[in-house]
Amino acid sequence: MRATLALLVFGMVGGCAQLAYYTQAVQGHFAMLAEARPIDHWLADPGVKDDLKTRLKRVREIRTFAAKELALPDNGSYTKYAALKRKYVLWNVVATPELSLKPEQWCFPVAGCVDYRGYYSREAAQSFAAGLSRQNLDVRVTGVPAYSTLGWFNDPVLSTFIEYPEAELARLIFHELAHQVAYAPGDSQFNESFATAVEEIGVMRWLEARGDEAVRAEYIVYQERKEEFLALLSTYAHQLQENFNRPVSDAEKRQRKAEIFADLQQRYTHIKQAKWGGYAGYDRWFGERMTNAHFALISTYHDLVPAFRAMLGKEKHLPTFYQSVRKLAKMDNGARRKALSAYLPPEPSSPPPSREVRIETTGTLTAAMQ
């Protein structure tokens, strides 16, 4: 299978650089699969710690729930576990022009064009990123705990996310399985927003079925922080876009860009202390040197989610919803956007104010947000 896939991939690409990239992708993926053993084997192994066994049992329950209650694919995905000797399964490189939020794209067989490029080695990702930086692009390298092979292979549970809180673990599995339901090559925003919508309804149903109020309360607080975080980024992404559209010199745009980044850092510090009681879950995002690339995938994962929510509300049942989404995935991009927009209320005649984070007294993001 490894040789067949390699020949298929190599036959579709040309050039030494492309050949090297696909070689690491094929080798990295199969090395990861080689580490996977059936969950039952891990549970029967007396040398495996009880905490890991408890988490793997929970994964089996989540996997069964996904198939029976969410109508997600019932296959071999997430029935095996792989203990990797690294923090992330791979690293994505995201890049934008210096004065734009529009991400660079790379095109691949099957997946189509996407807004990131993945590497199984952090060093290789950083090397590629350095080359992009030399082209005066804004670049970010971010670790990824999981990814979907769109049903071409049975994706395993990984040590990179097995220790997530229960609701987050369920969210990730539902999200990745949703990619096996419908996928539009070259339309990352459609694909990720659909999977995000599925994970949202999936986690809420899972928590209702579990009836564990402590886990449910923990997830609600997590969701509140996530919405506030996204609102914060949306506000400042809007400011950046306005800056880049100004009829002024590039030097003035660069100066204003630096001011926006500095203000965002201060705002985050205030919210973290005043609202979140010192919660440090987003410190890594803000701890890096900030670039436009930090904002590039926000819309990819979230802008179309309201349309999918409205679509599900109209369809009522998940299998019918999935069928409709699969039809959308077969359309061209323009027709797909037009069909999705029909599920949303008309836009107001004047643009709405920027989404601001409100400071109130009541209390793994997706791989691309982290």
pLDDT band at 38 (very low <50, low <70, confident <90, very high): very high
The rounded distance, in Å, linking the Cα atoms of 347 and 235 is 18
| Local confidence band at 113 (pLDDT 50, 70, 90 cut-offs) | confident
At residue 134, the pLDDT reads 96
- pLDDT number for residue 348: 54
Cα 298 to Cα 189: distance, rounded to the nearest angstrom: 9
Q: Helix, strand, or coil here: 143?
A: strand
What does the pLDDT average to over 69-75?
Answer: 97
Q: Cα–Cα distance between 91 and 263 in angstroms, integer? A: 28
The yes-or-no verdict on residue 350 having pLDDT over 70 is no
Q: Which residue would you say has higher pLDDT here, 284 or 112?
A: 284
Angstrom distance (rounded) from CA 115 to CA 187: 9
| Predicted confidence (pLDDT) per residue in 183-239, tens digit | 998 888 899 999 999 999 999 999 999 888 888 888 899 889 998 998 999 999 999
Whether the per-residue pLDDT at 297 is higher than 60: the answer is yes
Grade residue 4 by pLDDT with cuts at 50, 70 and 90. Answer: very low
pLDDT band at 290 (very low <50, low <70, confident <90, very high): very high
Which of 174, 150, 185, 151 is CA-nearest to residue 329? 185
Question: Is residue 62 scored above 80 in pLDDT?
Answer: yes
pLDDT value of residue 356 = 39
Average pLDDT over residues 270-285: 93
Q: Would you place residue 14 in the very low, low, confident or very high pLDDT band (cuts 50, 70, 90)?
A: very low
Q: How confident is the model at residue 359 (pLDDT cuts 50, 70, 90)?
A: very low
Size of the chain in residues: 370
Given this model, what pLDDT does residue 2 score?
40
Provide the percentage of residues in the chain whose pLDDT is more than 70. 88
> What confidence score (pLDDT) does residue 299 get?
66
56-65, 110-119, 268-277: which range is least confident on average?
110-119
- Give the whole-number percent of the chain exceeding pLDDT 90: 70
Alpha carbon distance 367, 370 (integer Å): 5
Mean pLDDT to the nearest integer, 126-138: 96
pLDDT band at 364 (very low <50, low <70, confident <90, very high): very low
Mean pLDDT across 119-135: 96
The Cα–Cα gap between 256 and 344 comes to 34
Q: How many CB atoms lie within 10 A of CB 31?
A: 13
Look at residue 259 and tell me whether its pLDDT is greater than 90. yes
Taking CA atoms, 315 is separated from 111, 209, 312, 320, 323, in Å, by 27, 22, 5, 6, 10
Looking at every residue in the chain, the average pLDDT score rounds to 87
pLDDT value at position 308? Answer: 95
Pick from 169, 170, 99, 103: which is nearest to 136 by CA? 99
Mean pLDDT across 334-357:
69
Q: Does position 44 have pLDDT exceeding 90, yes or no?
A: yes
Domain ranges of the chain: 2-66+73-164
Would you place residue 303 in the very low, low, confident or very high pLDDT band (cuts 50, 70, 90)?
A: confident
CB proximity list for 265: less than 8 A, separation 6 or greater: 286, 290
Which of the pair, 201 or 16, is modelled with greater confidence?
A: 201
Q: How far apart are CA 115 and CA 43, in angstroms?
A: 38
Q: Which helix (H) or strand (E) holds 96?
A: strand 90-97
C-beta separation of 193 from 304 below 8 A = yes
| Per-residue pLDDT band at 332 (split at 50, 70, 90) | very high
Contact 173, 66 (CB under 8 A): yes
